Amino acid sequence: MRSLMNLSELVPALNDFASLSLAESWDNVGLLVEPSPPHAVRTLLLTNDLTEQVMEEAVQKNADLILSYHPPIFAPLKRVTWRTWKERLVVRALEHRIGIYSPHTAYDAVPHGVNNWLSKGLGACTSVPLHPSTAPSHPTEGTHRVEFCADTTEHLETVLSKIKDIPEIFCLTTLPVRVDGEEQTRVSLNCSQKALLEVVALLSQNSLLYRKTEVLLLQKPLLPHTGMGRLCTLSEPASLSDIIERIKSHLKLPHIRLAVGTGKTLDSPVKKAALCAGSGSSVLKGMEADLYLTGEMSHHDVLDAVANGVSVILCEHSNTERGFLSELRDMLTIHLQNKINIILSEKDRDPLQVV
């Protein structure tokens, strides 16, 4: 029998499943609406888009928290009234003590996220991120490393004393070294961008030290298998027509939109496919592949791809995302140790239909 989780316990667990630091800087992710604490969560409702129909469903099913892949609050709200549908979502959520959490592009980036699920529609393949994510912080403190050598102990002590007075200096170390047959002391330190200016200004006062100074930019390491979009290499090439049928089956769609690349046909082999769930124009643009797979692209970006011999499959925005929720439910059930009831929205659907 499932118990419950307090929201203050559940939100960190959700953040641990997919770090919000992986989300794009423009995104609005995390806990967006919070009922007054303490707030117990017994039922979590998963949806791709939080519409008023889905909110009514959440109320009827006694959901305590809604995980909406797309953030229902994106542009800042200047008021919370009954006038607009997004304001009404907030009002109803608070009236019924329902929290709202949105992961959006954090779920796009993680290895076990939306784009990984979408890639399964291509068949057996290996994939790498089109735009790899970097770690949220440097492996050590500071953004730069400064190294220099000094051969005069007395003068070095004066310089080190002044350096220690500069704020945001980290990991200051000294090491005896032999340079060109002479005993010297090598100084290494990490510092912030602001402190770097002061350190360089100090060292520039001594031409000998300044000439022996090296400044290194500390790069944030890339995270393996993490980032936006995926470049997929199929284990065996397949014809464009076969890929179309695989995608339709995976997404459970009767129709997709297709633009065939210049010089290509439905029988042309597809070996590499670049994909991005949702709106993929900015992520896919300029990528070398036989096929682009996404929900939507601008007219002119499609023209560019076709002119470069790249075929394009468009499935509508949320159709490339919604199917992931079933997989997400299973993963979260394990991640949250089966403590709460996780259900899928039955009212959530893409607003566009083929008629």
70 is in an annotated binding site: yes
Q: How many CA atoms lie within 13 A of 8 on its CB side?
A: 4
d(CA 43, CA 283): 35
**End-to-end Cα distance, the chain:** 45
317 is in an annotated binding site: yes
**In the chain, where do the E strands start and end?**
5-6, 30-33, 40-41, 43-47, 65-68, 99-102, 125-134, 144-150, 169-179, 182-191, 214-217, 222-239, 257-259, 269-279, 291-296, 311-314, 341-344
300 is in an annotated binding site: no
Q: Is the peptide bond before 37 cis (omega within 30 degrees of 0)?
A: no
321 is in an annotated binding site: yes
**How far, in Å, are 224, 290, 330 from residue 117 at the CA level?**
17, 20, 13
Tokens of 350: 């893409």
**In 75-191, where do the E strands start and end?**
99-102, 125-134, 144-150, 169-179, 182-191
- The one-letter amino acid code at 242 reads D
d(CA 111, CA 47): 20
- Dihedral sign for Cα 100, 104, 107, 113, please: positive
Tokens of 236: 């065996």
Which own/partner pairs from 254-257 qualify as long-range (CB within 8 Å, at least 24 positions apart)? 254/354, 255/354, 256/313, 256/314, 256/315, 257/313, 257/314, 257/315
* Residue that is written with structure tokens 């909110």 in the block: 55
**How far, in Å, are 26, 232, 256 from residue 301 at the CA level?**
22, 20, 17
**How far, in Å, are 32, 76, 141, 163 from residue 172 at the CA level?**
42, 44, 11, 9
Helix axes 85-95, 52-60, angle to 10 degrees: 10
Binding positions: 70, 108, 317, 321
Binding positions for a divalent metal cation: 70, 108, 317, 321
